[in-house]
Amino acid sequence: MDNKTLQALLDAAAPLIELAVAEDIGPGDATSTSTLDPRAPLHGRITAKERGVIAGLPVVEAVFRRVDPAIAFTPHVADGQEVVPGELVAEVVGPGPSLLAAERTALNFLQRMSGIATATRSYASAVSTTDATILDTRKTLPGYRALDKYAVRMGGGMNHRIALFDMLMVKDNHVDGAGSLLLAVERARAQHPDLPIEVEVRDLDELRQALAIEPPLDRILLDNMSLDMMREAVAIAAGRTPLEASGNVTRARLKAIAETGVDFISAGALTHSVKALDLSMKIQPVDKAAKMDPATRVRAVKSALGDRLVILGHHYQREDVIAFADYRGDSLELARRAAQTDAEFIVFCGVHFMAEVAAILAKLGQRVLIPDIDAGCFLAETASEHLVAEAWSILDAALATNGSSADAEITPITYVNSDAELKAFCGRHNGTVCTSGNADKVLKWALSQRPRVFFFPDQHLGRNTAHKLGIVGDEMLLWNVRRPPSAEAIHTAKIILWPGVCNVHQRFRPEHIQKMRERYPGIRVIVHPECKAELVALADDGGSTSHILKQVEAAPAGTQWAIGTESRLVHRLQAEHPDQLILSLADVPPFCPNMSQITLSNLAEIMDALARGELLNEVTVEPETRHWAKIALERMLAL
Ligand code: 13P
Ligand code: SF4
């Protein structure tokens, strides 16, 4: 967050903190001051009790400091970051009575703001495979507008107008009061020619009137329309003016609304029906807290096991976890490490498919453990063996019309972000695996084997890699599970792409690049190939997480970077290269929620179990699947 944004947030929060402290502490906390020794410092841990997105940590710090400047506040996550139950959000150390006096007020701010960010993230995720953007409204808690809107941004939404003064919004009441839509717009524009203008329309006739206005309006709001009417509105507007859907926007209807093709969806519920995120603060004496410290426990078991243990960590892991990795890398480097190590225990700090690769490549007797067995991958889950096999038989039938077959004509490639069953599928059908670090090499190899490739699950990596090899347009076919393509389309296709996407990389948009370049001329934009093709085309460079890392490491001081990949890698690069300007390409930092599931405390739990001789969260792959998946992986590693 830049200093200006931080200052604006703190300025808006200051009077609210005064009110809240006066209301809750007033002349003093009767219980804490009478029961606790103010000279013995206490240690407080603020932890998440449910999954959600954190927002408001600078406000929380300001509350503690307002109550007692002697309190030291250490955040363990950043605003905009997803947390899992039990995760440490922040620590506070200071005089016991002060900590407890500030606790409720601090948590009230954090819980409300995180609740808004959590709901916004869930809305934003529901539309992440479309081009729609989630907007807030003015239905905020009186006095809390700036905080509520900040939390929406942290959740991945975009702010609508801030208040009545920064945008003209001609609504039904203005139209009815002025006598006509045209008249209302003319009057508003005459008095405020510099303000952007949006007009609300109730039906398609009003929409046509609004679209006919010159110069075009900045946005048109479709009020409470049915899905069919919205689809028609999108067709009528034909891109002339961006459209916003509003009214009856529920989480359940969201995806369907976004799929009508509207550009924006505004939802009052984000800020008027807030469900606070469940967070708590637990206090302990400072010396007891130090003994229970998960970092101390991990360190102890690691040194006791020595060479018997290796910890592998993906670049997207949080800082306190990656600090314990013997090797960190992208998925290709970690697969190589997993195949090389002789350690008896491989603890994989990454997502499940990565640990599964380690388990597939493991030698006899080696055991692979993951701190959270449920740390999946959104992208991997977009394809299953059942659906891919179904598609394969459709491809087979289409090619049979020419006397050929899928096995004779198509090389299946699965991106490593997939289940073991899909890797086994590729093993059985003479295909292989690729990662973002070797996709072009693998695709070239595949096309040297057979004339076509079936690439799953990530359509963007497939498309971006094909573009690199000069394959474009009609030679690429996007699979549609509900409406499989015709035999003719299959015959002309060279690359058949599964429709999967990563909802973290999907968030970067071409306008992010535009804005960055306007603000920092000369900035280098580098993105991960899981981003959309139009973004990759605009960027200066693209590649795997390790490629991004190496480019920044090799650049001279003073280089400016806008990076389009997961936030933890960007934050690490910022910390390691203070002589360069390193920014996240998106305005809201995109954290991978699956990678977030690995925490220092669940790492400490599996390490504690290892010390007791127990295997917690072991990752195994059924032998037949393992056999074929290994063949596919070894084919890749040999390239
Ligand atoms: P890398 O192979 O670049 O590490 O990417 C893995 C991943 O999951 C990216 O989202
Ligand atoms: Fe999966 Fe995307 Fe997370 Fe990578 S960033 S692990 S592809 S969800």
Round to whole Å and give the CA distance between 252 and 460: 27
As a CATH number, domain 505-591 is: 3.40.50.10800
CA of 333 to the centre of ligand 1 (A): 11
3-class state of residue 569 by DSSP: helix
Asked, as a colleague might, if the bond just before 457 is cis with ω within 30 of 0, I would say: yes
Cα distances (Å, whole numbers) of residue 299 to 41, 75, 289: 26, 22, 16
Round to whole Å and give the CA distance between 114 and 151: 7
| 191-243 pLDDT tens trace | 999 999 999 999 999 999 999 999 999 999 999 999 999 999 999 999 999 99
Start-to-end CA distance of the chain, whole Å, equals 42
Look over the chain and give the mean of its residue pLDDT values, rounded to a whole number: 95
Give the mean pLDDT of 363-367: 94
Instruction: Evaluate: CB of 602 within 6 angstroms of ligand 1.
Output: no
Asked, as a colleague might, if the bond just before 215 is cis with ω within 30 of 0, I would say: yes
The closest residue, in CA terms, to atom 2 on ligand 1 is 331
Cα distances (Å, whole numbers) of residue 224 to 205, 227, 244: 15, 9, 11
pLDDT of residue 236: 97
pLDDT tier, 59 (very low <50, low <70, confident <90, very high otherwise)? very high
380-502 topology per CATH: Rossmann fold (3.40.50)
- The helix, strand and coil proportions of the chain, stated in percent and rounded to the nearest 5, come to 50, 15, 35
pLDDT tier, 264 (very low <50, low <70, confident <90, very high otherwise)? very high
Ordered by start, the domain boundaries in the chain are 3-124+276-287, 167-267, 293-374+597-624, 380-502, 505-591
pLDDT of residue 590: 85
Q: Which atom of ligand 1 is nearest to the CA of 377?
A: 8
| Residue positions counted in the chain | 639
* Percentage of the chain modeled with pLDDT above 90: 89
pLDDT of residue 332: 85
Domain made up of 167-267: CATH architecture? Alpha-Beta Barrel (3.20)
Q: Tell me, what DSSP letter sits at residue 420? A: H
Active site residue 494: no
Q: Is 179 left (phi over 0), alpha (psi -120 to 50) or beta?
A: left
Least confident among 104-108, 249-253, 529-533, 613-617: 249-253
pLDDT of residue 350: 98
Round to whole Å and give the CA distance between 94 and 100: 10
Q: Which CATH number fits domain 3-124+276-287: 1.10.3720.10, 3.90.1170.20, 3.40.50.300, 1.10.10.10?
A: 3.90.1170.20
Give the mean pLDDT of 444-463: 97
Active site residue 200: yes
Instruction: Evaluate if residue 130 carries a pLDDT over 90.
Output: no
Give the mean pLDDT of 462-471: 96
pLDDT of residue 290: 76
Instruction: Evaluate if residue 472 carries a pLDDT over 90.
Output: no
Residues 219 and 241 sit within 8 Å (Cβ to Cβ):
yes
- Ligand nearest the Cα atom of residue 377: 2
Residues 484 and 391 sit within 8 Å (Cβ to Cβ):
yes
Q: Which homologous superfamily is 293-374+597-624 in?
A: NadA-like (3.40.50.10800)
Instruction: Evaluate if residue 187 carries a pLDDT over 90.
Output: yes
Q: Which atom of ligand 2 is nearest to the CA of 378?
A: 8
Residues 6 or more apart in contact with residue 50 via CB below 8 angstroms: 85, 277, 278
pLDDT tier, 486 (very low <50, low <70, confident <90, very high otherwise)? very high
Instruction: Evaluate if residue 1 carries a pLDDT over 80.
Output: no
